[in-house]
């Protein structure tokens, strides 16, 4: 089935608590009038925000990146209203929003064009049917310069696809290893 429109997303958010907190319109300015990188409901998706906590990759220990044996010492923890990603490096953050994906829905998430035009790539895997939690996001700085990321502002757009019928085996049924993430989650095997 096609991507769902804003009325459907708003209804699903209300009925199934699919996105919490949920903004029913694009938010482009803070209460004090400061411009923001937009977030909230869009025509065919939802622009989520990144939280104010970041894990910034550093190579101080000359470590090999190994998804089966990930060294947490490869990250510096930062909490604040922004984060600076070093050149040709990356950071992890999480969404402000908590997602509960219904059994007949699958999502794809893409980075916002404002960041893409600055050489920032947002990498997120699809949200599978019945997955729930805060989304862990990888933000890659592909430039030779430091890059600034703003907390509590838009970072990526989630697009929703609905099947004709519920899936046979959901992420919840499989007891997926990233189910109900409450924090930034490093690789698990």
Which residues are the active-site residues? 138
In 58-150, at which residue ranges do the beta strands (DSSP E only) sit? Answer: 75-79, 82-85, 90-100, 105-111, 120-123, 132-141, 147-150
Query: Which letter does DSSP use for residue 72 in this model?
Result: G
What are the two backbone dihedrals, phi and then psi, of residue 83, each rounded to the nearest 5 degrees?
Answer: -140, 145
111: Cα within 13 Å, side-chain hemisphere: 17
Residue pair 97/39 in contact (Cβ under 8 Å)? The answer is no
């Amino acid at each position: 089935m096609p991507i769902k429109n804003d009325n459907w997303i708003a209804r699903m958010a209300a009925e199934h608590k699919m996105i919490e907190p949920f903004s029913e319109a694009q938010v482009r300015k803070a209460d004090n009038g400061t411009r923001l990188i937009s977030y909230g409901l869009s025509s065919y998706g939802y622009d989520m925000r990144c939280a104010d906590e970041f894990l910034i990759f550093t190579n101080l220990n000359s470590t090999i990146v190994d998804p089966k044996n990930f060294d947490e010492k490869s990250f510096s923890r930062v909490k604040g209203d922004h984060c600076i990603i070093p050149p040709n490096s990356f950071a992890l953050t999480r969404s402000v929003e908590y997602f509960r994906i219904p059994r007949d829905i699958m999502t794809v998430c893409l980075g916002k064009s404002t960041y893409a035009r600055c050489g920032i790539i947002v990498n997120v895997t699809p949200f599978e049917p019945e997955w729930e939690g805060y989304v862990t996001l990888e933000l890659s700085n592909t430039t030779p310069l430091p890059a600034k990321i703003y907390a509590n502002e838009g970072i990526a757009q989630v697009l929703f696809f609905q099947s004709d019928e519920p899936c046979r085996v959901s992420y919840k049924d499989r007891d997926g290893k990233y189910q109900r993430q409450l924090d930034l989650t490093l690789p698990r095997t």
